[in-house]
Structure 1
Amino acid sequence: MNAPLDETCLAQAFRGRRVLVTGHTGFKGGWLSLWLSRLGATVVGVSLPPARPSFCTAVAIEDLVDSRIGDIRTESGLREAIGGLDFDLVIHLAAQAIVRTSYEAPVDTYLTNAVGTAVVLESARRMPSLRGVIVVTSDKCYENREWTWPYRENDPMGGRDPYSSSKGCAELIAAAYRASFFNNIGGPQLATARAGNVIGGGDWGADRLVADLARSASTGIPTRIRNPANVRPWQHVLEPIRGYLMLGARLLYDGHRVADAWNFGPGADADVNVGTLASLVVSKWRGECPDYVVDRQEDEPPESVVLRLDSTKARVGLGWKPLLRLEDAVAMTVEWYRTYNQEPSRIRAFSHQQISDYAGRWTMADEGQPAPGERKEVATCA
């Protein structure tokens, strides 16, 4: 199966498939579960209870998937949540996802992000119908040397803080399971996915820049920013999720060709510092959001200054590329929060519409000419 190039092709790949999503009550897991449900997949989600507010509660994800509350940190906890169910594909997103929280609770961060990954993989490899597993980690899994150039998939794993280190551990655990248990070319295959800093509607997490600015628009209290000069690869949440779906479709059909690590990062225009992104978000609120203030404390835990991803491998191997400029991603994000604030009962339909509009960009990109240096993909599903 060639890389599916539009939502119709993905529907052919996922319709009727049984997919387990860990972390479905989280921000990325919620958007992924919503998209999978519209593709016709039978989705079972395992996660801790959703926060309130959250994307999950805003769009009522639990009405669309078989939602199960469970703890991935122990085999018994996951086994009890799954209840012996069998799946074609497992997408593992459940994680402790905040860098600052990892300083406050390092052991729990390792238990969730590292041990939890091993627990999920141990359960997955015993599923009779399994075709593939995607372990979603982070761009922070790399040993960050504060380079100005982007990191590639074969760069060393590392991490100077517990969160980044735990994501590097998750990648190493996945690589060991791939070599030890997912090594039969005709059997289920294992891939990992590393995305940039995602933004989008429905993220109310603590210490998240765009989420803090959305709260600021509601309260009128300026957002305090610690490190405005730090550079990150910002992207709309639908960009990496499309990558996960394309990767998952390939795992279902010819998984041995994609059983590896994959970066899904934004275009070069989106590698900007925190202050630049914050100013762009504030401008899109058109006066509803006060400007941010810089509040750097002396005892703040250290964070990486520069981080970028090289997604050439995904462009060539999967036919994936980012579709949104940073300005478009921010506009979509602000419009989601504005719609939620004005008409919360309409937010599920609006979220579906954002996926449809984004998928339309995908189709138009495939029908157009390739960018300089890009290979023109064959527009076929099979």
Structure 2
Amino acid sequence: MAIGNRAVANLVDVAAFSAPEPEFWRGKRVLLTGHTGFKGAWLAFWLHRMGAQVTGLALTPNSLPNLFDALAVASLVRSYVGDIRDSDLVRRVVSDSQPEIVLHLAAQALVRASYKDPVGTFATNMIGTANILDALRDLASVRVALMVTTDKVYRNRELLTPYPETAELGGHDPYSASKAASELLIASYRSSFLAAQGVSVCVARAGNVIGGGDWSEDRLLPDAVRAWQSGEALQIRRPDAVRPWQHVLDPLSSYLVLAQKAYQFTTLSQAWNFGPDGAASVREVIKLARSAYGSGEVDFATQVTGPHEAGLLALDVTKARQELGIRPRWDLQVAVSRSMHWYRDFHEGVAASELCTRDLDAYLSVRS
């Protein structure tokens, strides 16, 4: 892949940028959409810890409990509650915050929910993204817009061959299709408007994320925790589905590292895969989760039911490893174990802030 000379020169010291740098983020004005969600709350907490000036825009949390409230994120950032489909609101928040860096995570992010509300999914993931990008036109302060899509943007051929960033985009279900379509939209805004402003517009495609503090519906570990804490058997509808699982801190670290580098080098305005070196089945993840949790009944379905979902999915993360120095710090066993211990300790009364600090400290102490 050809990239500009400025980026090539920077690759000499790429290993030095394999982790987020507090010195870079201290005082930076950051607009974070989706800060009330699982990944967004973790990211807001991390950015605040590094001294960034964070403005958040998102809907109210969609679960009880939720990490946004558990971490008291509203006290850590300047928080706006609203819908990214509201273009006037988006423009006002952007104008008020004057961001240097935009981290766009807000989305309708569930496959099964997209079957129930396809129009709402397309509107949020496409029109909402367009509203964010359009508000950045002619904004003098902005240097980086990092747009988070998904590993499911690829046309899935049900092969275990990992998809590189150059693979064909597609999407069977409304969620995947909406995210693939949003990538065309992002590319259009990059080439038509924002590149001429000197803004780095990057796309991050991350694998399936696990970690403490997620209580969303139709997600594997939250479903397991709810079932086992209530003494019920966990129902697994697709035990042999294969995904690129990773702890939440790995993609968040990748986003921050990419934004740091893209702040200086606009040649990094590309799509990037972030994920583990391999993939694993739902059955494998649940066995690890049950071992870490210490107990729990599981019923594995013998027949696939429900709407279509991809069976096999793996990402080729070579580009991020070679050009950004990004590699996962925790393997699957550690990622699952840390996640289940987070939930167990939270259930026993340990504060979310203590648990997140514990995981962050442990994560950053790993030397790759």
Shorter-chain TM-score bucket reads over 0.9
CA distance in 2, matches of 1:159, 1:187: 31
Can you list the C-alpha shifts for 1:187-207, whole angstroms capped at 9, x where unaligned? Answer: 111000000000000000000
Question: Structure 1 residues 298 and 216, CA, compared in 2 at 3 Å: closer, same or farther?
Answer: closer
Give 2:352's aligned amino acid. I
Determine helix, strand or coil for the equivalent of 2:88: helix
Aligned twin of 2:7: none
Of residues 104, 111, 133, the one that matches 1:121 is 133
Aligned twin of 2:277: 267
Aligned twin of 2:6: none
Structure 1 residue 9, shift from structure 2 partner: 5.9
CA distance in 2, matches of 1:296, 1:165: 28
CA distance in 2, matches of 1:19, 1:125: 16
Identity of aligned residues (%): 41
Give 2:323's aligned amino acid. G
Give 1:90's aligned amino acid. V
Of residues 345, 353, 359, the one that matches 1:348 is 353
1:336 paired to 2:347: no
Can you list the C-alpha shifts for 1:285-319, whole angstroms capped at 9, x where unaligned? Answer: 112xx221134777510111100000000001111
Q: More displaced, 295-304 or 207-216?
A: 295-304
CA distance in 2, matches of 1:45, 1:134: 15
Aligned twin of 1:139: 151
Give 2:79's aligned amino acid. S
Can you list the C-alpha shifts for 1:4-55, whole angstroms capped at 9, x where unaligned? Answer: 7469861121110000000000011111111111111000000001232111
Aligned twin of 1:378: none
CA distance in 2, matches of 1:129, 1:29: 22
Of residues 87, 98, 116, the one that matches 1:75 is 87
> Is contact 1:18–1:87 with CA below 8 Å preserved after alignment?
yes
Determine helix, strand or coil for the equivalent of 1:182: helix
Aligned twin of 1:105: 117
Give 1:355's aligned amino acid. L
Of residues 261, 274, 285, the one that matches 1:277 is 285
Of residues 201, 205, 216, the one that matches 1:205 is 216
Of residues 297, 312, 316, the one that matches 1:310 is 316
Question: Structure 1 residues 272 and 316, CA, compared in 2 at 3 Å: closer, same or farther?
Answer: same
Aligned twin of 1:369: none
CA distance in 2, matches of 1:260, 1:172: 12
For these two proteins, the number of residue pairs brought into alignment is 356
> Is contact 1:69–1:81 with CA below 8 Å preserved after alignment?
no
Task: Name structure 2 gaps, 5 residues minimum.
Answer: 1-9
CA distance in 2, matches of 1:9, 1:211: 28
After TM superposition, list the pairs within 5 Å mapping 1:1-382 onto structure 2: 2-3=13-14, 5=16, 10-51=21-62, 52-82=64-94, 84-184=96-196, 187-254=198-265, 256-268=266-278, 271-287=279-295, 290-295=296-301, 300-344=306-350, 346-361=351-366, 364-365=367-368
Determine helix, strand or coil for the equivalent of 2:245: strand
> Is contact 1:95–1:113 with CA below 8 Å preserved after alignment?
yes
CA distance in 2, matches of 1:31, 1:4: 24
> Is contact 1:7–1:359 with CA below 8 Å preserved after alignment?
no
Question: Structure 1 residues 285 and 299, CA, compared in 2 at 3 Å: closer, same or farther?
Answer: closer
CA distance in 2, matches of 1:154, 1:272: 23
Structure 1 residue 332, shift from structure 2 partner: 0.6
> Is contact 1:4–1:246 with CA below 8 Å preserved after alignment?
no
CA distance in 2, matches of 1:334, 1:110: 33
> Is contact 2:288–2:337 with CA below 8 Å preserved after alignment?
no
Structure 1 residue 3, shift from structure 2 partner: 4.1
> Is contact 2:243–2:314 with CA below 8 Å preserved after alignment?
yes
Give 1:334's aligned amino acid. M
Give 1:242's aligned amino acid. S
CA distance in 2, matches of 1:67, 1:50: 12
Structure 1 residue 176, shift from structure 2 partner: 1.1
Aligned twin of 1:370: none
Structure 1 residue 107, shift from structure 2 partner: 0.1
Structure 1 residue 349, shift from structure 2 partner: 2.0
Give 1:104's aligned amino acid. K
Task: Name structure 1 gaps, 5 residues minimum.
Answer: 366-382
Structure 1 residue 183, shift from structure 2 partner: 2.1
> Is contact 2:20–2:257 with CA below 8 Å preserved after alignment?
no
> Is contact 2:19–2:257 with CA below 8 Å preserved after alignment?
no
> Is contact 2:238–2:304 with CA below 8 Å preserved after alignment?
no
Give 2:131's aligned amino acid. V
Determine helix, strand or coil for the equivalent of 2:96: coil
Question: Structure 1 residues 4 and 115, CA, compared in 2 at 3 Å: closer, same or farther?
Answer: farther
Give 2:226's aligned amino acid. R
Structure 1 residue 182, shift from structure 2 partner: 2.1
Can you list the C-alpha shifts for 1:236-275, whole angstroms capped at 9, x where unaligned? Answer: 0000100000011012222x1211000001122xx11111
> Is contact 1:4–1:249 with CA below 8 Å preserved after alignment?
no
CA distance in 2, matches of 1:324, 1:296: 31
CA distance in 1, matches of 2:327, 2:115: 34
Determine helix, strand or coil for the equivalent of 1:62: helix
Structure 1 residue 322, shift from structure 2 partner: 0.8
